[in-house]
């Protein structure tokens, strides 16, 4: 279907009207999972543009979002190369439905108040920082190169989020309560960070991926130190949510994608 403004159809237009399916070989699935994490969290942060509590934070959140979307682009481009079907980064972002997305449930959680956005970023960045640093030793040269860029960026993301957790927790009664509520609400989504299914265990064995379970103790120490300094409480271990890596998402992802994919779904193949 063409838009009334005559969005120029491209060679691929007839293909882009429907969702694509991706042949998920282990390495493709691996890269898609990380790309989806980065894209969805990056998109969430972009929703703060013009709405952050102050100008500096508006710039910070969108800058972090930009880094993440950049990481997603590199990973999707690699997926396209692996697939060799003439797709590009945009195909994966715009033409897959929610059940085909492989991101962590944590990153698709709504922005909520500022404290919730910061805590979500804090949990994720504390993990991503460790994860990408370890991935710089991957036997896969492309993933190692992407990791080398991502780890430098995530260090800044973690510092930013950590400083805010401390400021909010050790701030007013109101900010303390909101930060604690955010920690408690998002805690059940942190277990998924450390999961590795059979596919991923094969890649770990081959030195392509790193075992996230091995990062858990350092992650716990990192976040525990900040949470203590913030005069907040680390939530007690509890039942953990799971499913994102297999495409079983919370209801929030579909709404996010309807916004993210709107243009390409309405005017297939539109370019500008």
Partner 1 sequence: MVTGRAPSAGRLGPEELRQLAWRVAAQVVDPEIPVLTIADLGVLRGIDVQDGRVEVTITPTYSGCPAMNVIALEIEVALLRAGIAEASIRTVLSPAWTTDWLTEDGRRKLREYGIAPPRPGGGRRLLFGQETIACPRCGSEDTHRLSEFGSTACKALWRCAACREPFDYFKCH
Q: Would you tell me which residues interact with partner 1 (CB under 8 A)? A: 42, 56-57, 59-60, 63-64, 66-71, 73-74, 141-142, 144-146, 148-150, 152-153, 155-156, 158-160, 162-163
The whole-angstrom separation of Cα 65 and Cα 60 is 9
Distances 37 to 40, 58, 109, 126, 226 between C-alpha atoms, Å = 6, 21, 12, 14, 23
18 backbone dihedrals φ, ψ, rounded to 5°: -115, 165
CB 126 within 8 A of CB 70: no
Pick 162 or 180: Cβ nearer partner 1: 162
DSSP 18: S
Q: How far apart are alpha carbons 195 and 212 in whole angstroms?
A: 7
CB-side neighbour CA atoms (13 Å) of 118: 28
Q: How many residues does the chain have?
A: 272
Minimum CB distance to partner 1, residue 188 (Å): 26
CA distance 169 to 175: 6
CA-CA-CA-CA dihedral for 11, 12, 14, 17, to nearest 10:
-150
How far apart are the C-alpha atoms of 132 and 152, rounded to whole Å? 9
């Amino acid at each position: 279907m063409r838009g009334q403004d005559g969005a120029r159809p491209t060679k691929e237009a007839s293909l882009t009207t429907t969702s694509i399916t991706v042949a998920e070989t282990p390495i493709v699935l691996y890269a898609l999972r990380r790309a989806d994490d980065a894209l969805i969290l990056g998109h969430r942060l972009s929703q703060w543009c013009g709405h952050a509590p102050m100008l500096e934070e508006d710039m910070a959140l969108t800058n972090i979002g930009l880094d993440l979307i950049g990481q997603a682009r590199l990973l999707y481009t690699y997926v396209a190369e692996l697939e060799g079907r003439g797709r590009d980064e945009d195909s994966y972002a715009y033409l897959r439905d929610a059940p085909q997305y492989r991101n962590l449930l944590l990153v698709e959680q709504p922005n909520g108040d500022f404290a919730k956005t910061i805590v979500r970023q804090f949990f994720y960045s504390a993990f991503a920082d460790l994860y990408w640093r370890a991935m710089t030793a991957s036997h896969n040269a492309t993933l190692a190169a992407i990791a080398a860029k991502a780890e430098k960026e995530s260090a800044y993301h973690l510092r930013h989020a950590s400083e805010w957790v401390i400021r909010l927790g050790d701030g007013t009664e109101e900010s303390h309560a909101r930060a604690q509520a955010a920690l408690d609400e998002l805690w059940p989504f942190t277990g998924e960070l450390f999961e590795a299914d059979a596919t991923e265990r094969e890649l770990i064995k081959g030195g392509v991926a790193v075992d996230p379970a091995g990062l858990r103790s350092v992650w716990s120490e990192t976040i525990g130190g900040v949470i203590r300094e913030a005069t907040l409480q680390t939530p007690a271990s509890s039942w953990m949510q799971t499913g994102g890596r297999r495409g079983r998402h919370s209801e929030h992802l579909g709404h996010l994608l309807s916004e993210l994919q709107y243009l390409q779904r309405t005017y297939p193949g539109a370019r500008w």
